[in-house]
Amino acid sequence: MRGMYIHIPFCHQICHYCDFNKVFFKNQPVDEYIESMGKELTLMQEDGISFEGIETVFLGGGTPTSLSEKQLDRLLSIIQEHVDVKSLKEFSTEANPDELTLGKLRVLKDGGVNRLSIGVQSFDAEMLTKIGRTHSPGDAERVVTDARKVGFENISIDLIYGLPGQSRMQWEDTLIKATELDLPHYSGYSLIVEPKTVFYNLMNKGKLPLPGEDMEAEMFHMLIDHMEKNGRQQYEISNFSLPGLQSIHNKIYWENDTYAGVGAGAHGFLMGNRYSNIGPIAKYMEKVNSGLRPIQNTHIVTTIESMEEELFLGLRMSEGVSSSHFLKKFGKELDEVYGSTLDSLIQSGLIERVGERIKLTKIGVFRGNEVFQQFLN
């Protein structure tokens, strides 16, 4: 196992585009939930799952920084009881700009966290309100300054394009302000309207003025160009960094490697099984407190499925898929399994062979979903 994902499902505000497992913070059993995650970690170890030698821990949500300083401190103490935090290559947390106080930053730093992933999304105040965010552009700038003051150097911010009513000029302004912060890492995602979200309901009512596909493609192009001009290399379709500062935890997902999922609704991939935990917090806690692991669903990944995942996840990365690694992992040549599909995609100009690797072309990056679909039965 290379990584561990820990889910904090609490939010003080639900964003209009979010479909992750989350609840409003108020009146929730937050302290009890934190203790339950400690019990889950113990149950996993009793099941023979070793946390020795893991490379990364990632706190996601929800919003980990919705927790108080005391709650964050307790959570980090529990993690330290099970994981040798000092040996981690990367210990990340997601954060909201208006919740990440100097006090919380110090608690995180003292608890071993060494990377921040901050949900900025936009530097346009009006747009932030439209999408249900509660922070201001000034909050985003302030929190980066505070984080550096406390000693954080590995800082990333998330940005979203293709938002309702978003103009080319607004997106360009956000990109300029983002790179003026001179951070080592940026993530830029196109808006996906998911079921059970505010935006999904508005879209069904015809009240969500989204940019068209052409404008979205242009915004993606702007993102790539702007990051390249500012020395941030595109190492994955939506992620850009200075050399050597890629997200190790996210690369574990794209490299189709193993990780534990801890907490309500968390997903994991261990010993050939993909699993998901019980989502509702009360039911999750009830299961753990009864001495049982809170697994809702388990799927044994077949060899064919694992091969498919190796391709459509690996091709997301700029370095692409290694033919020699594929052979070592599956005992079969890449061309033996996918030769005709690869030849077709090469002829279409969507992928290319570079040495022993298969990669998306520049055109393929823009048509990634079309490429990935070719590897799914």
Q: Where are the domains of the chain?
A: 3-254, 303-369
pLDDT at 376: 87
Residue 324 has pLDDT above 80, yes or no: yes
For residue 300, give the 3-state DSSP assignment: strand
If pLDDT is split at 50, 70 and 90, which confidence band does 336 have? Answer: very high
Distance CA 241, CA 183 (A): 8
Residue 19 has pLDDT above 80, yes or no: no
If pLDDT is split at 50, 70 and 90, which confidence band does 54 have? Answer: very high
pLDDT at 14: 74
pLDDT at 228: 97
If pLDDT is split at 50, 70 and 90, which confidence band does 17 have? Answer: confident
**Which fold is adopted by the domain 303-369?**
Arc Repressor Mutant, subunit A (1.10.10)
If pLDDT is split at 50, 70 and 90, which confidence band does 74 have? Answer: very high
DSSP 292: S
Q: Which two tokens stand for residue 358?
A: 């298969």
Which amino acid is it at 16?
H
pLDDT at 39: 98
If pLDDT is split at 50, 70 and 90, which confidence band does 314 have? Answer: very high
Across the chain, mean pLDDT equals 96
| pTM: predicted TM-score of the whole model, two decimal places | 0.95
If pLDDT is split at 50, 70 and 90, which confidence band does 171 have? Answer: very high
pLDDT at 156: 98
Closest CA to 87 of 51, 131, 132: 51
Q: At what angle do helices 137-150 and 102-110 cross, to 10 degrees?
A: 40
pLDDT at 7: 97
If pLDDT is split at 50, 70 and 90, which confidence band does 365 have? Answer: very high
Residue 100 has pLDDT above 80, yes or no: yes
pLDDT (mean) for 141-145:
97
What are the residue ranges of helices labelled H in the chain?
30-46, 69-82, 102-110, 125-130, 137-150, 168-180, 198-204, 213-229, 248-254, 281-289, 303-314, 323-330, 334-347, 362-366, 368-373
Q: Which residues of 312-330 are buried (b: 16+ CB within 10 A; e: fewer)?
A: bbbbbbbebbbbeebeeeb
Residue 21 has pLDDT above 90, yes or no: no
CATH classification (class only), 3-254: alpha beta
If pLDDT is split at 50, 70 and 90, which confidence band does 347 have? Answer: very high
Percent of the chain scored above 70 by pLDDT?
Answer: 100
pLDDT at 80: 98
Percent of the chain scored above 90 by pLDDT?
Answer: 91
Distance CA 19, CA 308 (A): 25
Place of tokens 């561990």: 4
How many other CB atoms sit within 10 Å of the CB of residue 375? 20
Residue 313 has pLDDT above 90, yes or no: yes
